[in-house]
A and B are shown apart, each in its own frame.
Chain A
Amino acid sequence: MAIVENEETTLELESGEEKSAGKPLGALTRPQGGNGWKDWLFTVDHKKIGIMYGAAGLLFFVIGGVYALFVRLQLSRPGNSILSAETYNQVFTMHGVVMVFLAAIPLGAAFANYLIPLQIGARDVAFPRLNAFSFWVFLGGGLFLLSSMFIGGWWENAPDGGWFAYSPNTGVLFSPSKGIDFFAIGLQITGIASLVGAINLIVTVLNMRSPGMTLMKMPVLTWMLFITQLLLLFAMPVISVALFLLTFDRLFDANFFNVAEGADPLLWQHLFWIFGHPEVYVLILPSFGVISEIIPTFSRKPIFGYPFMVFSGIAIGFMGWGVWAHHMFASGVGPVAVAAFSVSTMFIAVPTGVKILNWLATMWGGRIRFTTPMLYATSVVAMFTIGGLSGVTHSLAAADTQQTDTYYIVAHFHYVIFGGIILGFFGGFYFWWPKIFGYFLSEKIGKSSFWVMVIGFNLTFGPMHILGLQGMSRRIQTYSEGQGFDLWNMVSTLGAFMIAIATAMFVANTIISRRAFKAGKTPAAGPDPWDARSLEWMTASPVPEHNFDEVIQVERQDEFWHRKWGRNEEGQVVRLATAEEVAHDGSNTNVHLPAPSYWPLVAAAGLPIVGYGLIYNLWLCVLGGLLILGGLYGWVFEPVDDPNADSHDHHDDQTEGTELVEGDEVLDQEVTSE
């Protein structure tokens, strides 16, 4: 719990000694916040890190989308030759890898980083520097993966084994380019980021909630993100093991997947999917959380069946571990295993169904405002249902032998991932944008882009159901005339471009709205623009660096809402106070905050270098290793605070130790100034 923080107390003594000895060594002083780009590079502020996760995730989403457009262009007509088979295999692999690992996971991490501390009324995450480290590791791993496009020639060395990378097709014998090496090492690196982030956020949720906020008073979003982090904590090590085996096979001639030496290729499949299926829930649960915040707010009702929402999320988290072999119904794992996983897969539909019905029940009888976030949230309920239903159709393993590895599956998981996750995240962007940046995104552009996106999405992936059932196989670079796939592929390609347009509209919206706000044409958001319910709305927008001016004593679920609204003797809801009255204005500058640090970035920068070293020249590993080591040393030995901590608005160090030890009291009252 407080181990690391105790460490800081001891370190603080050391830095005290240094201080008494004179000036601290140059590199060992901590950077000071508040000046431009450096502020972002060395930040340990969970909000800045959250924003960077979001920006990086969106950037990767756009890149992955461009890959998708090329895939769709290639498949728009039979016998097309826009991409050669060689390039196509790399492009669709990169599409999957980028979308899953570099877009969906970090976008979830963006919400988690930004919102968890705010929703539980904390000052920051438990380990702020570790948080920065996990972001930079993720970014480094992502860029490392993307660099495979350029290194050694344009589209020569990108991974070409599909995002699932089934052995033995990923062995050196069958995939002699460096692509799979980039895949294995790149994902290893981003895996470290997820793992570190998960540990950090789990500790944060467990230890740093506001006084009075019991677990069952946490907002549903925090709950879902918490479950997500637990899933990551247990799933990431599995893929790490698998990737290590693969890396050793490829780089050091190990024989884990060498069939000629007696290996069983299904080992990879089991390892991959034991990670891969919980991973699906890692992706979807944050989105479930997001819309569980949006729907009550815009229905003017509390979430329906809060405990059921929470426990169905937990149930999904548990059951998610018992269904992995449903990806392998055709692999030959034997009829008994297939039957068992078939049944477990059917039953995982139950908690998901509970969630859907609870969202509908929340909306039922409400006063629904269809703002852009609400449109997105509602569309998740509708679209995810489609993905869920097609999921049930392939839980029947016998039927799945017809469906698996066809476009029917592609349709299914895009309804889940795009319809369930991406639409939810866009809703989340519109919902929290005013909180994060202090201005609204234009509703006009938002609504029109919503419709373009939802229609485009259905045009893209709806026809894939038909294509799949008509026998169009996945991952094929081309098909022939006369196979009956022409029409729907063309429709699907057109739809994909509509999604692209909608995404462009969103990006344009962020720019246009920002300009309009700067020009004074649109109002400032204020702390609580939507009449929302959870604690993040109880502080100024954009959120001040120290989050809350004082510790919030939580008594009820939806504490903020209850401070605004009460009931009169007749039981009617009446206003107790306006949001402005209740919310903190961010004026308390007397808060001690963790100082920025160089070292997370330095340590993180070493990892991709080790990666390149493993692939091209082991000497580079030495360099990377030194960077990591140096980063860790700097991390350990840097002083607790930046040099000016005493003289400006920071809180006296003495109380820090005690303050942080007891997680629940982090935001201990009024902070003493000197």
Chain B
Amino acid sequence: MNLSKLGQNSRIKQNLARRLSKDTDMQSSPRRYLKWTFLCVITALFFLTGCASNAPLDSLDPAGRKSEGISDLINPIFIIAGIVFVFIQGAVLFIGWKYRVRAPKENEETFDGGYTDEEFPEQIHGHFAAEIGWTIGPTILMAAIALFSVGFLLNLDDVDPAPEGAEYPEVEVLVVGQQWWWEYHYYLDGVEDASQPDFVTANDIVIPVGQDIKLYITSRDVIHSFWIPRLNGKKDAVPGRISPWVIQSNEVGRFAGQCTEFCGLSHAYMRMYAVALTQEDFSSWVDNQKNIREPLPENDPNYEGEQLFITNCSRCHVINGVTERDVGGVVTADNMEMYGNIEEYRNHADGTLSQGKYAGEANLTAGAAPNLTHFATRSSYAGSFFELYPEAQEISDQGDYINLTTNNFARGTLESWLRNSPEVKPNAQPEQARGMPNLNLSENQIDLLVDYLISLD
């Protein structure tokens, strides 16, 4: 009783003292306020304009079912956090402003810091109810957040049935990360033989719009992370493990991705695209990808280029039907058997360790480079770090993607890639045999190879 009265007394005294002492700096403070308000507004504007800038990896601009779900989940949390932020920062500023005592100027350098008096505020040691309140309060808030987030979390890799009329209602893709690019093995349904994929491609993962695509993510060497921010969150590609994941897009378009787990030298250069096509476009894309090439006849203008490819590139790169490969002593021409059985990936998608195809083939990475059978149908190459068709960067809904090859391709970039790849994308050649080496090709050879590669539609 006594105490609280005293507290009031001293507060009144305090206020009086402050009012008296403030008279002197009355003039300066409004101007000061103005300056600060101005600064705050400018900063806020600055931040807002920054947010508006166009960012292809923007996780706040969801375009898929999963990413939208995440967005819906986190946006209220951002708002709650914003409110708490304003409350705490406001409290700090308010308390700091209201209860400050200023040091008399002459005291500042004597370091007395302002207590020339012996006046004390009320000595409060605590308040039990308040403490319990701000322990229980946040606990309840957190419990609420937990409740409605965990449900979503447990269903994060659930797959919805495909929309009506989908030609391939169950598309499964094995996503294999490796230094420093992504490989995709397509297992379309209706495949009688589950032991091998229908086709294998790299860098651009193509999906039908509106359909959940089941991914099995793994790695051939170190840990990578598969992330198309506008479609879903990320999932690590861990060697020896198969992680299930899903992507789906609500709109046709090309969505940028980036490897997000540090994976060594060229981590920054390991990118990818997801391309969502209409069901029809997807079907025709699939039909084309399934085509296996035949060796070119000698009179073909690209014959020489193909021969160059076989001599210089086929140790690592595959062109189905053209290059032969020795896999574990078995020489195969169509090269599909080496890629493994989808059952195996399904069986290990529960997190059990897999001793299958991609468990620690690290020292074989030199034998694993992108399958180039349909190189010219992809929008990018070299871990999607380079655009093959810069003019076609905006892939909208006119079926642009399946007609990519009608665009002008960036010849110069491709040439410099063939000329000396370690110069344009850091890689661990030749010491560690990862990444593409400098093949010391002549300009003429480069020309022929480029012509050949761009003919691989």
Contact = CB atoms under 8 A, between A and B. Distances in A.
B70 A399 contact: yes
29 contacts: A89-B265, A168-B223, A174-B179, A259-B240, A260-B360, A262-B240, A264-B240, A265-B223, A300-B120, A302-B124, A335-B157, A339-B153, A342-B149, A360-B91, A360-B95, A371-B113, A381-B92, A385-B84, A386-B85, A392-B77, A398-B69, A402-B67, A404-B234, A404-B260, A471-B58, A484-B56, A485-B55, A522-B111, A530-B113
A174 B362 contact: yes
Contacts of B264: 89, 160, 169, 174-175
B353 interface: yes
Given A332-B241, A389-B85, A475 B360 contact: no
Identify the 8 closest CB pairs spanning chains A and B, nearest first: A471-B57, A401-B233, A259-B360, A484-B55, A260-B360, A476-B268, A332-B243, A85-B426
Interface in A281-306: 298-302, 304-306
B294 interface: no
Interface in B318-356: 350-351, 353, 355
A86 B153 contact: no
A210 B363 CA distance: 63
Interface in B70-101: 70, 73-74, 77-78, 81, 84-85, 88-89, 91-92, 95-96, 99-101
A493 B264 CA distance: 24
A259 B51 contact: no
B4 to A, nearest CB: 10
B114 A369 contact: yes
B145 interface: yes
Given A343-B146, A396-B145, A405-B234, A390 B81 contact: yes
A331 B55 contact: no
Interface stretch (A29-37, A349-357, A494-502, A539-547): A349-357
Contacts of B227: 473
Interface string B191-211: 000000000000000000000
B409 to A, nearest CB: 19
Interface string A247-279: 000000000001111111110000000000000
Interface in A479-512: 479, 482-485, 487-488
Interface residues of B, number: 113
B3 interface: yes
B183 interface: no
Contact of B146 (A171, A342, A406, A444): A342
Nearest to A352: B138
A192 B350 CA distance: 39
A306 B360 CA distance: 54
Interface of A: 84-86, 89, 160-162, 166, 168-169, 171, 173-176, 258-266, 298-302, 304-308, 330-336, 338-339, 342-343, 346-347, 349-350, 353-354, 356-358, 360-361, 363-371, 378, 381-382, 385-386, 389-390, 392-393, 396-406, 434, 440, 443-444, 463, 466, 469-479, 482-485, 487-488, 522-523, 525, 529-531, 565, 570-575
Given A342-B146, A396-B73, A330 B258 contact: no
A450 to B, nearest CB: 13
B360 A261 contact: yes
A361 B431 CA distance: 61
Contact of B351 (A162, A168, A332, A342): A332
A175 B153 CA distance: 35
A385 B55 contact: no
Interface stretch (B126-134, B167-175, B306-314): B126-134
Interface string B23-57: 00000000000000000000000010011011111
Nearest to A334: B351
B146 A265 contact: no
A572 B2 CA distance: 10
Contacts of B138: 349-350, 353-354
